[in-house]
Structure 1
Amino acid sequence: MGFTRNWDASCPRVWKEFEAGGRKYVVQDLAPEDDGRALEILVGHMCTDEVLCNLSNLSDDAESVEGIKAFWAKCLEQRMSLGCYTDIDGKHTLVALNVCVVDTVDERTPYVEIVGEAWKNVYKAIEIMEERCDVFKYLGLDTVLHALGLIVSREFRGMGLGSYILDSREPLSKALGIKATATVFTGPASQKSAEKVGFTTIYTMSLKDFVDAGLKYPNDENKLVKLMVKKYSH
């Protein structure tokens, strides 16, 4: 039996409040009515800016764009994703998010076909890393909060929002009895943000390693992708 979020009258819950760049922000459960906006941000920003998506030219492959969008939409249905909001012209506005899902050792989320050659190239890289380093075995746990997309709208970058969002996984996890989180971080900025809030690297692969595994990336041994985790004390 997989994980099911009890989405009750207390939701969406706020997990962190902070100020940055002269603005006030909150990190909370992504509200269901904002799923459409979340997908717009993911497709409009992450498909082009995330390292593996960019190197796979995912945004130029219409089938892959629809495939990754369907994947993210299914993830959001679990209602474990985090949204970062600020007030713009008097409106509570989503400006960044982290797509999160709870996986168990027996059941992974979501159940959706991976379609599109570019999206397959991206997904397979993540899959290879997690096959080579099983986070459940490493952490000694049967339930883990995974994340499958952290993105900040371009006009709100440079203020550390990513670190605040990553740090918000802790109160979310603790509230629901989840003892650890794991993510494949693909770029230097997200890796630094994760390190800043206490994530540790448990497995690393270079782009060259992905090429050796049969994937289509530049043959570069200096660009590193990291599988990182953080355990929470309860």
Structure 2
Amino acid sequence: MSTERIVNLDRKSFTVSVSEEELKDVPIIRRSELPLVWARLSCLVRIMDLKEQDYAEALAIFKSYFIREEVLCKASNLSDDEESVQNYLDTIKYWMKDSTSLIAVLEGTREIVGVLIGRVVNKLDHSRTFSRMRLTEGEALDKILHLRSHMNKTFDVFEHYGINEFFRIYAVTVKPQHRGQGIGMALMDSALRLAKLLRQTVLMGIFTSAQSQKLAFKLGMETKLETYFADWIVDDKVVFEDPGAGNYSVMLMTMEFPRAPSPIEEEIIREEPKELPEGRKSSEENRDKADKSIKSIKSIKSIKSDSIKSVKSDK
């Protein structure tokens, strides 16, 4: 597939390998078959779809880095709670099966250096998924889910936008030695285009670190709800006492965009009669007026003829 454009976000450049026009030609049902390359970075990294054969390596990256470093995980000492760790990894693997997550891979290898977990959240199964997590949590995971639940319930994405589903970014992580090269930004930009391919109209994520919030802002997302760590108190105690330097709050952020037309809708649009050019339009209007005038004259002649016949008959 040809390169469509060069994106420069967070002062890092990367080429988009699949243009939005090309994406329209990829049937959604074939996503499970195609190893789409969403972007290629100047640091010799490509952004690709996460496939089943890469689940184990992606989960290992989450266990080694995300669970130890993500603000809520670190502040709740989740890595020391084996039950929480296992349940969190099980949940991430469950999300992976939707085939809507992405990985950053070193060119010429299969080594994964970054992962983004994303999926379409449906209004009907949203509560069932959350209930499943609540039933299998550990103590540390409970603290995280409590705050995330508060954010989701306080700002209801479904109700606010009047939609039944949206694309959600659940987690993004990059190996430490590959950070600062725009990989996280490239993963998020690719997730946005994936959401459009899936004909979603809203992108949503809950971002816990200043760095992830910065990337979301640069992508074009807006803050809809913000909860400060110092204000999140349970049983008269601040739950996340040490979120790390520069991290002050959790932000629920969203981005709205037009829904992409389906192939059937595109065909209908193509077949709709286009408006005539101004010159031709005037010509058509004049022709219509002439036709009406001719019909009117014929009608008058017909009336006159009938009147003359009637007079002769009376005589």
Paired with 1:213 and 1:95, the residues of 2 have a C-alpha distance of 40
Q: Structure 1 stretches of 5 or more lacking a match? A: none
Structure 2 residue matching 1:91: 3-state secondary structure: coil
Q: Does 1:32 align with 2:52?
A: yes
Asked if the contact 2:122–2:166 (Cα under 8 Å) also holds between the matched residues in 1, the reply is yes
2:73 is matched with which residue: 49, 53, 58?
Answer: 53
Matched residue, 2:299? none
**Amino acid in structure 2 at the alignment position of 1:168:** S
Percent of aligned pairs sharing the same letter:
27
1:41-68 superposed Cα distances (whole Å, 9 cap, x missing partner): 0111001110000000000111111110
Cα distance, 1:155 vs structure 2: 0.9
User: What count of residue pairs does the alignment treat as equivalent?
Assistant: 224
Paired with 1:40 and 1:232, the residues of 2 have a C-alpha distance of 34
**Amino acid in structure 2 at the alignment position of 1:24:** L
1:69 is matched with which residue: 62, 65, 89?
Answer: 89
Q: Does 1:156 align with 2:178?
A: yes
Paired with 2:86 and 2:207, the residues of 1 have a C-alpha distance of 22
Q: Structure 2 stretches of 5 or more lacking a match? A: 1-27, 261-315
TM-score by length of 1: 0.88
Which residues of 2 match residues 1-234 of structure 1 at below 5 A? 6=29, 8=31, 10-19=33-42, 23-87=43-107, 90-108=108-126, 109=129, 111-112=132-133, 113-212=135-234, 216-218=239-241, 223-233=248-258, 234=260
Cα distance, 1:213 vs structure 2: 7.9
Paired with 2:110 and 2:97, the residues of 1 have a C-alpha distance of 21
Matched residue, 2:307? none
Higher relative contact order at CA 8 Å, sep ≥6: structure 1 or structure 2? 1
Higher-Rg member (1/2): 2
1:169-205 superposed Cα distances (whole Å, 9 cap, x missing partner): 1221111111111010000000001111111111000
1:139-166 superposed Cα distances (whole Å, 9 cap, x missing partner): 2221111122110111111112111111
Paired with 1:9 and 1:131, the residues of 2 have a C-alpha distance of 32
Cα distance, 1:210 vs structure 2: 2.2
Query: Counting strand residues as a fraction of each chain, which structure ranks higher?
Result: 1
